[in-house]
């Protein structure tokens, strides 16, 4: 039997993996990478196949780890070379080496999921995401009121009168709405002297 036919048999034998682990912070269930790998290993071995991790490469510039694998046929020398890549995220309390190890574990799990098409099932068949959303309340959208333009200053319709300094008729300023001298007499008036009145 060819390796491709054995792989097909392994996919038929691969059972569902239950989402038995729980993320307490975000409150959802998930299937661990170890449980996925154990399920896949059992199906592969029963079909005369084995998956061997031949190495991994860490790219620190991209913060990714790449694993290489062989899918071996126990009845002959036939093999298929496989590879998978996964990001790793160092953080406070988790240095680079632990972040890489965690990504390698996840990488093996996702590789087995893709290779054997293993399904992850929930504890509650009605719960698609594996989370308890019964207490979830959607946020109401904030009602935005249409911004109204500030009221325009009403122009004075009455007689603005005359300048108290020169007697010229006043005009209304379009900017401030206040009357001003039409002759602009303030430009010709000299400012009052400052100090004690002495001249030097």
Residues 15-56: pLDDT tens digits? 888 888 888 888 888 888 899 999 999 999 999 999 999 999
Position 99 scores a pLDDT of 87
Residues 107, 111: Cα–Cα separation, whole Å: 6
Place 180 in a pLDDT band, splitting at 50, 70 and 90.
confident
Residue 125 confidence (pLDDT) above 70: no
Place 7 in a pLDDT band, splitting at 50, 70 and 90.
very high
Q: Nearest to residue 52, comparing CAs of 81, 9, 76?
A: 81
Both tokens of residue 188?
């010709």
Residue 191 confidence (pLDDT) above 60: no
Position 144 scores a pLDDT of 53
> Is-above-0.75 flag for pTM?
no
Residue 10 confidence (pLDDT) above 90: yes
Contact in structure between 71 and 3 (CB atoms under 8 Å)? yes
Position 70 scores a pLDDT of 94
Q: At what angle do helices 3-13 and 96-116 cross, to 10 degrees?
A: 100
Contact in structure between 49 and 3 (CB atoms under 8 Å)? yes
Residues 6+ apart with CB under 8 A from 132: 27, 28
Place 85 in a pLDDT band, splitting at 50, 70 and 90.
very high
- Over residues 142-156, the mean pLDDT reads 54
- Over residues 183-187, the mean pLDDT reads 80
Instruction: Specify the range with the lowest mean pLDDT, choosing from 7-16, 118-127, 182-191.
Output: 118-127
- Over residues 52-78, the mean pLDDT reads 90
Structural domains of the chain sorted by starting position, each given as residue range(s) with its CATH number in brackets: 3-121 (3.30.160), 158-189 (no CATH)
Long-range contacts of 61-69 (CB under 8 A, 24+ apart): 62/87, 63/87, 63/88, 63/89, 64/88, 65/100, 65/103, 65/104, 65/107, 67/104, 67/107, 67/108, 67/111, 69/111
Strands 64-73 vs 21-23: parallel, antiparallel or unpaired: unpaired
The helix (H) or strand (E) run that includes residue 6 is helix 3-13
Residue 153 confidence (pLDDT) above 50: no
The percentage of residues in the chain with a pLDDT greater than 70, rounded to a whole number, is 76
Position 24 scores a pLDDT of 83
Position 135 scores a pLDDT of 65
């Amino acid at each position: 039997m060819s390796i491709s036919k054995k792989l097909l048999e392994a996919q038929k034998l691969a059972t569902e993996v239950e989402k038995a682990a729980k993320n307490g912070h975000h409150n959802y269930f998930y299937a661990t990478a170890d449980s996925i790998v154990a399920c896949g290993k059992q199906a592969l071995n029963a079909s005369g196949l084995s998956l061997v991790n031949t190495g991994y490469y860490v790219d620190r510039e991209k913060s990714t780890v790449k694993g290489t694998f062989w899918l071996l046929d126990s009845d002959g020398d036939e093999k298929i070379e496989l590879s998978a890549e996964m990001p790793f995220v160092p953080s406070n309390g988790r240095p680079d080496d632990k972040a890489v190890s965690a990504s390698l574990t996840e990488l093996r799990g996702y590789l087995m999921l893709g290779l054997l098409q293993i399904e992850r099932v929930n504890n509650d068949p009605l719960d698609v995401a594996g989370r308890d959303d019964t207490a979830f309340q959607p946020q109401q959208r904030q009602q935005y009121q249409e911004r109204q333009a500030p009221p325009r200053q009403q122009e004075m319709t009455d007689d603005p009168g005359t300048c108290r300094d020169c007697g010229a008729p006043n005009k209304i300023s379009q900017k401030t709405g206040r009357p001003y001298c039409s002759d602009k007499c303030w430009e010709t008036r000299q400012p009052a002297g400052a100090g004690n009145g002495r001249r030097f």
